[in-house]
A and B are shown apart, each in its own frame.
Chain A
């Protein structure tokens, strides 16, 4: 039971605000675990703590049985913690291939002198490196545009590139912070398929997402946070049926019906477009 990312009594305070209080969660490899909850529930804060962005106020975090609490971000990255961000953080002037290539630096650091002082080796290594980068991009159907600069990519591709980059470091833990935000239904479904394909026995995947269609489809386990505390834990079906979760986050099925009803009464009231039909151009 050592192979797991564990939060033990983790707390985080920002001044008087308790962003996370006494949180105990386990993230297991081989499955997709989702963390959901209202805005400001502490979901991103939890990722930030595991990524070493700021110190814990209490508790400890263990990866594969090792205490990783308080390690600086680069040490955590070296131990295999990788993540994507809600607001994209790409290198705008670099190509897609270059984004993936920089991820190799920690693995190939010792070969740098050889590459600098021995041009034939440098050429060979460059070719191989590009090949490996293309293989990573190919998993996300981005290989065909490998030489395009990040700034010229449409939004959907930018999101994919961020995930590709997070995967390129061959992480042990992959945190995805709202990967579907801003994607449409079809793109979201396609992304979901790709994430399912990433599942492997030695990779812990943690998904933070508000797209419930995606969460319910992909997740094997779900944790629900509310006001920095654990509100519920279970399978998608258990979570959907949990009335506490409905009250705090999902809204009850009735809420959606009420909204539809309100809109329908409006349709009967606003008759601006009477007689207009659907037009295909």
Chain B
């Protein structure tokens, strides 16, 4: 089955790219293709001038591509802290620095650092998944379904952090169902439907596209 067809995507350093579209459109597959959890049938993947299409997932991680997958995928039997430690790579800063940053971002994780990850609430597990992806000190961060199960306030806090990280040069791809918010925050966005990109452009311009508004956004006034 062809899940993606003829996707052309360019993302520059420090940019936030949002992937938008219905379920089953191929957004998650696109992320998996980049991190090589799904094999490319045709086409090329270039990261920082290097062809990465044939590399194994672990080599991709070492290059600095970090993937926070849909469904959290945390290690339930490990503690919160062990989950973060498990994500450390040779390229990561020292463990202490990573912990401090993770807990600064999500204070609730600090309170629960010695608890088994399976005892966390759904939203807290999502926070842990994001913290873990950041622990790998990525150059490209990919987050699938960022706001899934998160309180509105926490979603805002994570997006704020992503803005800061992007200002510091981190490149970010997010899959996000809250299209209004995704376009607010991202620099560039692509709408994927049936494995193809149907429309793309700078986010602030897409926000004003009437056809897109009808399909994907809650009207501000209702």
Interface residues of A (CB under 8 A from B): 14, 17, 37-41, 43-44, 86-87, 154-156, 178, 181-187, 210, 212-213, 248-251, 255-256, 259-260, 262-264, 266-267, 269-270, 272-273, 276-281
Contacts and interface: CB of A to CB of B under 8 A. Distances in A.
Interface in B140-188: 145, 147-154, 156, 159-160, 163, 166-167, 177-179, 184-185, 187-188
Contacts of A183: 23, 177
A39 B124 contact: yes
A185 B153 contact: no
B23 A187 contact: yes
Interface string B71-95: 1000000000000000000000000
A40 B148 contact: no
Contact of B149 (A17, A181, A251): A181
Nearest to B199: A280
Interface residues of B, number: 55
Query: Which residue, of B166, B184, B204, has the highest number of chain A Cβ atoms within 10 A?
Result: B184
Contacts of B185: 259, 263
B24 A155 contact: yes
B23 A267 contact: no
B184 A186 contact: no
B156 A251 contact: yes
A17 B114 CA distance: 13
B121 A273 contact: no
Interface stretch (B30-38, B47-55, B212-220): B212-220
Contacts of A17: 119
A37 B149 CA distance: 11
A177 B153 CA distance: 19
Contact of B187 (A86, A187, A267): A267
Nearest to A217: B222
Given A278-B201, A281-B196, A178 B122 contact: yes
A112 B57 CA distance: 51
A260 B197 contact: no
